[in-house]
Amino acid sequence: MTSSDEVCPRIRDYGLLSPVDRAALLLRPESDLAPQMEGAGRIIAAVRERGDAALIDFAKDFDRADLREKGVEVQPAEFDAAFSALDGALIETLELAADNIRRFHEAQLPQEMWLKEIRPGVLVGERTTPVDSAALYAPRGKGSFPSVTLMTTIPAVVAGVPQPILLTPAGPDGSVDAATLVAARLAGIRHVFRAGGAGAVAAAAFGTESIPRCVVFEGPGSPWVVAAKRLLSGQIASHVPAGPSEAILLADETAQVDRVALDLLIEAEHGADSSVHLVTWAPGLAEAVAARLPQLLAKMTPQRSAFARAVLGGDHGGVLMTATAADAYAFINDYAPEHLQILSRHPFDHLTHIRNASEILLGEHAPGSAANYILGPNAVLPTAGGAKWSSPLGVHTFMKSASVAHVTRDGLAALSPHVHRFATYEGFDAHAMSVSDLRPS
């Protein structure tokens, strides 16, 4: 970790970087999971063989949590106690967030089925249904995250998944964070289980005495969770590669210094494994933000300040000065950030140049903190360049489609000669016979 304000943030001139150094900027901490893969494999094997007993052992080893008395599944009385323990104002905030998130994801719902007549008597379309089960994950290693619980569970419930469950690590006394339980109940989740890290992924993939086997596992997590998801990719689906936090702030000469400095710290305080860059072609802005940061870091707790210093002064963060806006856009599209915030009085002018970003926040009044908690769009987002091929967690993550076709007698009669020609050319006898004179009219 860095220890002095003088090296936080680290400032780089993009034009002076070698191709090797530019490529290094695109790397994330989870780009190399070799240290976790072997250990995750052992955890997976233990959970597959020993089920709940392995989860209880790992909770003790990794979370210092004793689950022998409480067991793996959270009981109904614990939900009631959570509501009693929380301040009413916090419950009100959770309710508002849940409502915003639910409204956004309800708008994502596709129509159940569509059909289009593409030729006379030939109707084709799609029918969409939810997956049978989904395991949602809320991490706890660097804090408690009821916001993640809302983001992962609500789209699954809105999608109509018959069996959605929540997995989350327990605290030292075996309890689950009260706000997380309240969030789960507000989302409509009935079953919550004490399981974390690679063990949680394995439990959902194979099932245990307490945890039902699921077909989908979604939620952000540590490199251990990412490693387990990769190892179990043939056993359980995980569509959103959500690893450690990352963000790029694109700021032009119209951006206000204090807003840029404040927002630069949002994702940086998540942990030393985060990746956060300010990208700008305005030298005065870069220098002013660098001068302002020490004052803001002094207002943070030692832990969060240390995380932010490590990120912004290290290899995976800082200020990147580009010669032109075009250079900035090119870097961002190569990086494909999890969070992209465009700080400008004219954010839409920049938006048209962005192809790859999981979340795009426009303007100086849309800080990442609001998006993480309460705006409504999902904050569980592809990381490590996943924005180039993947989408944010959403209703579609928990749904699948089946192609549908209906053909009339006349419709098939018109297509049959073409089907016959294809089948004959490719050498499939039964294909050809099925549309020949052998078929009853």
Residues with active-site annotation: 338-339
Distance CA 279, CA 276 (A): 10
Which of 138, 156, 47, 116 lies closest to 393 in space, CA to CA? 156
CB 300 within 8 A of CB 402: no
Distance CA 9, CA 293 (A): 8
Distance CA 60, CA 68 (A): 10
Partner residues linked to 116 by β-bridges: 124
Give the other-Cβ count within 10 Å of 374's Cβ: 18
> What pairing do the DSSP bridges indicate for beta strands 113-119 and 122-130?
antiparallel
For the CA atoms of 282, 285, 289, 291, the dihedral, rounded to the nearest 10 degrees, stands at 110
For the CA atoms of 9, 297, 180, 101, the dihedral, rounded to the nearest 10 degrees, stands at -60
The CA distances from residue 384 to 5, 226, 255, 329, in Å, are 28, 11, 27, 18
Which of 200, 181, 183, 189 lies closest to 158 in space, CA to CA? 189
CB 39 within 8 A of CB 51: no
Q: For residue 377, give the DSSP letter.
A: S
Distance CA 130, CA 179 (A): 27
CB 267 within 8 A of CB 276: yes
CB 341 within 8 A of CB 308: no
Q: For residue 216, give the DSSP letter.
A: B
Q: Give strand ranges (E) for 316-378.
A: 317-321, 339-343, 359-362
